[in-house]
Chain A
Amino acid sequence: MHSIESFGTHDGPGIRWVVFLQGCKLKCLYCHNPDTIETSGGTEYDIEELVQMALKMKPYFGKKGGVTVSGGEPLLQAKEIIPFFKRLKEEGIHTNIDTNGRILNSFSKELLDDYADLVMLDIKHMTEEGYLALTGVSCKETTFNFAAYREASGKAMWLRYVLIPGITNQPELLHAMGKYFKDYQTIEKIEIQPYHKLGVHKWEALGWDYQLKEARENTPEELIAASDILKNYFKKVKIN
């Protein structure tokens, strides 16, 4: 585990207790938690210890909130998340996975089928080249297969999309995404994540070069324009 946020309000429905796991095979240029990328490091916790910590937060979950596992890429530890979510469900706590969807093995499938009440899938880019350029990995198709698998399970999914001027906000990309996913029944909403530079200092602290220095943050107009396009395809579009 990398860290915990006890009052997550941008990590799924309601108030969330968010567990950030250590390690990710992608290295997204805009990553705002680059310190979670290395697969080494982090702190080991017993599942039951985490469950007890989550239970202390339960009074604040209300009708909507719950636990979100984020990262890093949480599905690198899909096998370990299964018993964790199993216990949370026994305690009546809503479970959510925040993932890039790159891992579709028997463990992650079990999670998708049985234990994750919600999956938030990060759509990085609609083209294979764009995906590779942003993340350093060619796995766009896998993540789309991941979406299809979740769709088949019939359980709730949110899409998330980081909007970067000039890189992911071109209308043709947004229309392509809309057309691709418009018939998915399990997608409750899509969240636009406006690109921001809050993570830059973390890159510098790690001694890494931040390659998106030239990118700029969105104007309010750009956010609304993107949202308007997506509204043609999705029930609910939210700017986070």
Chain B
Amino acid sequence: MKIKTFNTGIWEKTINLRDFVTKNITPYHGTYDFLEGPSEKTLKLWDICKQGTKEERQRNGVHSVDTDIVSGINAFQAGYIDRENEVIVGLQTDALLKRSMKPFGGFKVVEKALSEHGLKPNNQLSELFTKYVKSHNDGVFDAYTDEIRKFRSLGFLTGLPDNYARGRIIGDYRRIALYGVTRLIEAKKQDLANIAGPMSDNVIRLREEVSEQIKALKEIVGMGKSYGLDLSRPAENAQEAVQWTYMSYLAAVKEQDGAAMSLGNVSSFLDIFIQRDLEDGIITEVEAQEYIDQFVMKLRMVRHLRMEAYDEIFAGDPTWVTEAIGGMLEDGRTKVTKTSFRFLNTLYNLGASPEPNITILWSENLPQNFKNYCAKVSIDTSSIQFENDDLMRSKRGSDDYGIACCVSFQELGKSIQFFGARTNLAKTLLLALNGGRCEFTGTQMIDGIPVYTDEYLDFDKVMDNFRIAMKEVARVYNDSMNIIHYMHDKYYYEKAQMALIDTNPSINIAYGIAGLSIVADSLSAIKHAKVKPIRNEEGLTVDFQIEGEFPKYGNDDDRVDFLASNAVAEFNNELKKLPVYKDAEPTMSVLTITSNVSYGKKTGATPDGRAQGVPFAPGANPMHGRDCNGAIASLNSVSKINYDDSKDGISNTFSIVPKSLGSDEEEQIENLATTLDGYFSRNAQHLNVNVLNKEMLLDAMENPDEYPQLTIRVSGYAVNFVRLTKEQQLEVITRSFHESM
């Protein structure tokens, strides 16, 4: 029975998590001294998980797969790691690390992924999905134009979610714990009743969607029952609050295999229940930590069935269970609670890990003790990333948000986003130099660009042509996105997640670009040095000769940094002109995930002197080795990209050797926290921090078994270093590691 009641508010009348959190949160300003180690039960479970992941690595990355059942919210019987030690239960299938088929994104992809491990789906399913059931992937390719296919196959548009689930949508996984499913169904039924005619496409679609959501909610109750949990009612204590929240997330990852499926910002919500139970003397700190450790452990065990080609763009089998921690409330109080610390503490209790993808919402006004603890965790584990809460809160107008995928703001329960992968901006620049033709095949991609025959490249002429190229690429990109999201809604609608979001939420479409530093340096070379294109018999540029010096992006030099920020602004402006499916607001990111390696391969020589095939820098990073004025100059260059032009995020990955941060732990912590304060005070948006020695990475390449949990940050997420391909490992190692000695 409830002992203490929560503070009242409008959250009691309407579904409003923000109001509940704001009214009931207990901000924490103290140190980490109160934290506890892992419980015996937790350690026992984790040993089993470690054994399981070891077997997984030995079996070429996939432990096992169920080839008979199509995954769904309630498709599998209850699964356990070791039932008697689990205080938080639930697995995606009936066994640890067993993956499942989610064929609605694309059946061919499932077949391919299975065949790569010597498996195939059961015959009935094959017949069903080849003859009778249509997938998202089928729908998209029915509608794709020849032009889109050409842009896709020649590498101008890459990683599009047209043969895998789009992800990025964050359900408000706190809702069931606070309200119970019954109440949520009532609210959705009321919404449905209010969606009335005239029956336009939009109204019909929304009525169907809300009906689907109600079905999903009912299925969630069914899934809970299979574990003996009554999710129809609100959680009554801390353990239930964690359990209910996990069940909500579990429903999402059983139904969907989106590229990135973030968790949101559950920690300080859960803290309200934990704090109440602690105050009432019902639980101890050891138990509070045990709930969080076991919850996080479950999140670490989330798996999706992927084909090998997927690894090129999203290396290391990531799931992006991104949890945003910290930040400030609009009333000036901090959202940091003891449970913010508990989540971070799990990185010590269970060891470093890429998942969940912990993102610290950094504000100048965060409690100093929390800043220092985050810096310490970052130095010790290289597992967390940082984003600018002051910037996003003020520019996006909400203090209740999560991070979708790697770096993207998403107001929880109120808005969603459509994932847009990215276009290759460096190849777009090459179109401008090749009369609109592909630099490799000579295929005419776009019209309207004059054939360039001058001996030396002229900056103004190049810019004119580059603008035409950007406009045309934006047009094709937008076409593809509209088709993809139309079909995804139609064939693989995220009913479980959308059931936990307000009906008819606002939407932004998340476009992206890769190759920004290449474009900036290329334009700088053309402007400040003399660049002579070398053309083959077909008139295509195959190389460039550069005479003279030119400023390079990453050295805090405005002459080139503004070329970078202008390119971002101009391409974003082109995208903004184009109408989007469901009236989504266009936004753009500068983010590459690990695809900077494969994009490099697919891009010819560029005017900055980069040879054909050489990997791009990740995200908005300066090119490897070209930022030679030290770490801060490099950070300053990236911070000049205006967030207003790239509201979906600007990813920067910063790698530094421990000694360069300071000579002892205290100094290192202080200097990292100060660096973050400095970087974000310049309105920068995101920073991945790796505090590592190159030698350790080289050793891990040689002796992977000794480093099973070695985690490093790549563009916007983290991976187990030993799960990267050799090529990706080398790329990480050649990146600029800032050393000040």
Please give the residue numbers on chain A whose beta carbons come within 8 Å of chain B beta carbons, in ascending order: 4-10, 14-15, 17, 56-57, 59-65, 198, 238-240
Contacts and interface: CB of A to CB of B under 8 A. Distances in A.
A7 B660 contact: yes
A6 B739 CA distance: 11
Nearest to A62: B674
A56 B673 CA distance: 18
Contact of B670 (A5, A6, A7, A14): A14
A6 B673 CA distance: 16
Given A15-B675, A59-B678, A62-B677, A7 B632 contact: yes
Contact of A4 (B629, B674, B679, B682): B629
Given A14-B670, A14-B674, A62-B674, A8 B740 contact: yes
B678 A7 contact: no
A4 B630 contact: yes
B363 to A, nearest CB: 15
Contact of B678 (A4, A60, A198, A239): A60
Q: Lowest 3 A-B CB distances belong to which pairs? A: A60-B678, A6-B630, A62-B674
B661 interface: yes
B: contact size bracket = 20 to 34
B573 interface: no
A56 B675 CA distance: 13
Contact of B741 (A17, A64, A65, A198): A198
B632 A239 contact: no
Interface in B554-580: 556
B667 interface: yes
Contacts of A238: 663-664
21 contacts: A4-B630, A6-B630, A6-B632, A6-B633, A7-B630, A7-B675, A7-B740, A8-B740, A9-B667, A10-B662, A10-B663, A14-B671, A15-B671, A15-B678, A56-B636, A59-B679, A59-B681, A62-B673, A64-B674, A239-B663, A240-B663
B96 interface: no
Contacts of B661: 9
B631 interface: yes
B629 A61 contact: no
B738 interface: yes
A6 B663 contact: no
A33 B681 CA distance: 34
Contacts of B738: 7
Interface in B660-701: 660-664, 667, 670-671, 673-675, 677-679, 681-682
Contacts of A8: 740
Interface string B612-631: 00000000000000000111
Nearest to B656: A7
Contacts of B678: 15, 59-62
A61 B674 contact: yes
Contact of B660 (A9, A61, A198): A9
A238 B740 CA distance: 19
A9 to B, nearest CB: 5
A59 B682 contact: yes
Nearest to B639: A59
Given A4-B630, A5-B630, A59 B741 contact: no
Contacts of A61: 674, 678
A187 B733 CA distance: 42
A15 B674 contact: yes
A60 B629 contact: no
Contacts of B667: 9
Contacts of B682: 59
A17 B633 CA distance: 10
A60 B660 CA distance: 15
Given A9-B660, A15-B671, A198-B741, A60 B630 contact: no
B672 to A, nearest CB: 10
Nearest to B675: A60
A140 B633 CA distance: 38
Q: Which of A9, A15, A56, A65: most chain B CB closer than 10 A?
A: A9
Contacts of B633: 6
B508 to A, nearest CB: 29
